[in-house]
Structure 1
Amino acid sequence: MKKSWISVAIALCCGLSVQAQQHSEQNHSKYVWPADAAVKQKLGQWQDIKFGLLMHWGTYSQWGIVESWSLCPEDEGWCVRRGPHAGNWYEYKNAYEKLQTTFNPVRFNPERWAQAAQQAGMKYMIFTTKHHDGFCMFDSKLTDYKITGTKSPFASNPRSNVTKEILQTFRQQGFMVGTYFSKPDWHTEYYWWPYFPPKDRNVSYDPKKYPENWQKFSDFTYNQIQELMTGYGKVDILWLDGGWVRPASTIDSTVSWQRTIPYSQDINMAKIAGMARQHQPGLLVVDRTVSGEFENYVTPEQQIPDHYMPIPWETCLTMGDSWSYIPKENFKPARKLVQTLVDIVAKNGNLLLNVAPGPDGEWHEEAYQRLTEIGAWMTVNGESVYNTRPVAPYRQGQWAFTANDRATYASYLPKDDESHLSATIELPLSPANAKTQISLLGVKQPLKWKKAGDKTIVTVTETARQQLANQPVWVFKVSK
């Protein structure tokens, strides 16, 4: 990967899965700042709120398997098929698509999700309206392969249009809301044309050789996005996945996965974005990994840049090991998740944390527990996260730095064996003057300090040390 002042080496977070590795490498030096004033305003608002919820949900949750990828005929670890039909791709695809006939999430309760996300301090939400398998979690008029379709038992439920219910519920709780939408669609004949069996994740025919088919697919994509932009209330973000669907001119040969794209797959993003913003002024468009004017922020997946990036970006990360529901999930500790958020914010990013609903329409109870624990920390320390911007030195050792108009925040990320703050802390900041106040968020009384060159020696009282024991991050507030 090429390096420049905004093209960084991406460091893997510990415990991250390898799914969807098409997003592991990307040159961000081609980032284009939006020119539209309404988009600029929305982008600034999004950068202020820092913390969001992503939900992958579809028929695949019934089998407790990876989302969509088991349909993909590639010899990759995340595409492995399992079960009685695994030995025959055609039988497997048929059985997979019949999941529509039994998918019945009767415990669907978006109010509980929104309440839990709000208590955790999340401020925006992205929902998978359609993943690569083509199954629509919204009431598309262009296909019957949908949760509201005639073959779907949940269609008779008054809340069967789950996308509409979810967006409305979160919007009512003050969230910015976004629609995840997969550009590739492995169900429609316009993408995986049955005449040519698919060889991989890409379109199964050459669009240049069969332009009529490709035009039908482009129209299908445009019309489904138009449905989402016109029938679901205010939408803040259009989050497009499947970066191999892109014009040949945007393929970066220095990025390994992009070298495997065999055809130009141009769906006319200018037309799509223009239509979407006509209905949703100021809409953020995130055409993932396709650098240019339709990628308003970049989205490293399961990864965190190793240092500050001066462009808008968001790490999308799973709370457990999987994007989709699995019966036994290995959730990251709340301590790790809080430290991850603090690390990301100090590098100028947002954290989009994925929680996957199950086939019955509920989350694992442990996911609620994690969000409660995160929320307890955010209630006390949220001012160091929201409406801040990173300040130099951004990340230094165990320290992370943010600021607003009133204060600078120095956040200390303890190691696993550090349960209490030391009685004396060497703060790697120099106070502006002798009247500067230094305090610990969560403790009312200011702390005593003295200047030592370009650093500050802070004395932490025993009362404060005990009061803030076992916190995932300790935040020092240096008032301006």
Structure 2
Amino acid sequence: MNFKLTVFLLAGLLIKSSLYAQQHAEQDHSKYIAPTDPLVQQKLSKWQDVKFGLLMHWGTYSQWGIVESWSLCPEDEGWCERRGPHAHDYNEYKKAYEAIPQTFNPVRFNPERWAQAAKNAGMKYVVFTTKHHDGFAMFDSKYTDYKITNTPFKSNPKSNVTKEVLSAFRNQGFMTGTYFSKPDWNTDSYWWPYFPPKDRNVSYDPKKRPEMWQKFKDFTYNQIEELMSDYGSVDILWLDGGWVRPFNTIDPNISWQKSIPYDQDIDMPKIAKMARSHQPGLLVVDRTVTGEFENYVTPEQSIPDHYMSIPWESCMTMGDSWSYIPKENFKSTQKLVHTLVDIVAKGGNLLLNIAPGPDGEWHEEAYGRLEEMGKWMHVNGIGIYETKPLAPYRQGKWAYTKKGNTTYAFYLAESGEKIPASLKPEGLTLAPNAKITLAGKKKMLKVKDGSIQIASKELAEIGGQPAYLFVIN
């Protein structure tokens, strides 16, 4: 991939991230509906305690190093623009894109390495892309030939990669989740070839062709049932493609939803009932479709600017892209730690995306970031896991959580900043007799005039950290 193409693709990815963050920020969370099923409530409570998860976008698009699926979408948006020898002709491009599986062969695929690295980093749940909008199944679906087990990789004993990923992470004690795109741009019952697609939506009016739409609904139901019944225990069904929704759920106050032309109801009550018959207590996350099938909300590439009392998760990329690009710009360990602390202090979880490449491996730099995060989490995770937010949540450089009678106060240091000898937690009143230690240390710190005092000898021992955790009892 040449430099100009890399720059163009990166620009498109950044536009996508920015606009999608705006779209998800517009959602009206006041209409959140809490689950009533006791098993779902228990699962949701467990999920809220684990705080930190891994998301992986992986498909044949990684072979071209392009944005996931979206170059197939005939919309005039930066992230949809085509590049390469077939870009001038949509049909030719789509044909070439859909031929990638003929050479897709991720021979370095080793999910056990991923699971171990994620566990060492302190992650506790995983969400894997079983199928993105392009319709390519990363599992052995019997309802399509457009799948990972119909590539040169099919002879590999680990060719059913979804099964292998979920198994590897489950063996490390992770909660497991399946990302599944509701729209499918490869199946004729969604993008019917008689009408070329005009945008991301179904290419025909489902009301005019109910038999065709029923065929698509059955196809979707059947693929989800495969995932819910053939892949071991699953904790989360994470559904993407929020334009596939009942027409009466469209919020006219949200800009992107105004452009949905048709009712695209796939009967979520039926799907959820089936899924939970196989996976009792399953969390269903029908993203951006506010109601009983959005058990938690998912702001994308953004963090709310305030505490939210409902269950929520920020899904964010470790680099700039959701999908693999040859040269990635990974966030610093400090930025990642601050992001996690900021989210947890406001009541959310962080789902951090890392994209495997066409050979089935991550960038080595991603492993490095996880290792560095793990070192920090090993000491400071006590202020993350199983905690609740504590007012004032975030103030200045400070973030707060609690567990029982213990307060956890995080000081988010700036890059290169040495921790001061006297620190006054903003928005928090310290009792003169408060028992305060730095996480991982036994030495009690003194309180003077509402500030934490750190002796010079102790300052030298602390060293530089992305964030400092004070444990207050």
Would you call these one fold, judging by a TM-score over 0.5?
yes
Give the residue type in structure 2 aligned to 1:38. Answer: L
Q: Determine the C-alpha separation between the residues in 1 that align with 2:457 and 2:245.
A: 58
Distance in 1 (CA, whole Å) between partners of 2:277 and 2:457 is 57
Question: Paired residue for 1:202?
Answer: 201
Aligned to 1:148: 149
Partner of 1:157 in structure 2? Answer: 156
Deviations 1:407-444 (A, max 9, x none): 101101112241x211111124224573x311111322
Aligned-partner residue type, residue 475 of structure 1? L
Aligned to 1:476: 470
Change (3 A) 1:341 1:15: farther
Equivalent residue runs for 1:297-316 within 5 Å: 297-316=296-315
Q: Is the 8 A contact 2:15 2:79 kept in 1?
A: no
The alpha-carbon deviation at position 463 of structure 1 amounts to: 2.8
State, as a whole percentage, how many aligned pairs show the same letter: 69
Is 1:90 the equivalent of 2:84?
A: no
Amino acid paired to 2:420: S
Correspondence for 1:462 among 438, 456, 461: 456
**Structure-2 residue corresponding to 1:138:** 139
Letter in 2 for 1:464: E
Q: Which structure features the higher share of helix residues?
A: 2
The offset of 1:406, in angstroms, is 4.2
The separation in 2 between residues aligned to 1:59 and 1:387, in whole angstroms, is: 37
Structure 1 residue 465: Cα displacement: 1.7
Distance 1:96 1:179 in 2: 24
Shift of 1:19: 6.3
Alpha-carbon shift at residue 15 of structure 1 (Å): 11
Equivalent position of 1:425 in the other structure: 423
Q: Are 1:106 and 2:107 counterparts?
A: yes
Runs ≥4 residues deviating over 6 A: none
TM-score between the two structures when normalised by the length of structure 1: 0.94
TM-score in terms of structure 2 length:
0.95
Q: 2:49–2:385: 8 Å Cα contact kept in structure 1?
A: yes
| Greater Cα offset, 424-433 or 39-48 | 424-433
Partner of 2:362, secondary structure, is: coil
- Mapped to 2, the partners of 1:72 and 1:466 lie a distance apart of 56
CA distance in 2: counterparts of 1:413 and 1:16, whole angstroms: 29
Counting only pairs closer than 5 Å after superposition, residues 390-469 of structure 1 correspond to structure 2 as 390-418=389-417, 420-428=418-426, 429-431=428-430, 434=433, 436-450=434-448, 452=449, 456-469=450-463
CA deviation vs aligned residue, 1:297-322 (integer Å, no higher than 9, x gap): 00000011001000000000000000
Q: Show CA shifts across 1:317-350 (max 9, x none).
A: 0000000000000000010000000000000000
What are the residue-to-residue correspondences of 1:270-281 with 2, within 5 Å? 270-281=269-280
Aligned length: 458
Q: Deviations over 1:53-78 (max 9, x none)?
A: 00000000000000000000000011
Distance in 1, Cα, partners of 2:256 & 2:444? 53
Task: Look up the equivalent residue of 1:124 and give its one-letter code.
Answer: Y
DSSP-derived class of the 2:313 partner:
strand
Q: How does 1:72-471 map to 2 (within 5 A)?
A: 72-149=73-150, 152-418=151-417, 420-428=418-426, 429-431=428-430, 434=433, 436-450=434-448, 452=449, 456-471=450-465
In structure 2, what is the Cα distance between the partners aligned to 1:233 and 1:205? 36
What whole-Å deviation, never above 9, does each CA across 1:372-418 have from its counterpart, x for those lacking one?
01011000100000000001111111110000014101101112241
Cα displacement string for residues 198-224 of structure 1 (whole angstroms, at most 9, x for unaligned residues)? 000000000000000000000000000
SS in 2 for 1:62: helix
Letter matched to residue 454 of structure 2: V
CA contact (8 A) 2:16 2:78 kept: no
Work out whether residues 18 and 78 of structure 1, in 8 Å CA contact, stay in contact via their aligned partners in 2: no
3-state DSSP of counterpart to 2:79: helix
Kindly provide the amino acid, as one letter, of the partner of residue 468 in structure 2: W
Q: Deviations over 1:451-478 (max 9, x none)?
A: x4xxx21111223322222211011110
Alpha-carbon distance in 2 for matches of 1:141, 1:462: 66
Structure 1 distance, partners of 2:205, 2:432, is 67
The answer as to whether partners of 2:31 and 2:291 remain within 8 angstroms in 1 is yes
C-alpha deviation, 1:16, in angstroms = 8.9
- Could you give the per-residue CA deviations for residues 78-129 of structure 1, whole angstroms, max 9, x where no partner exists? 1010000001010000000000100000000001000100010000000000
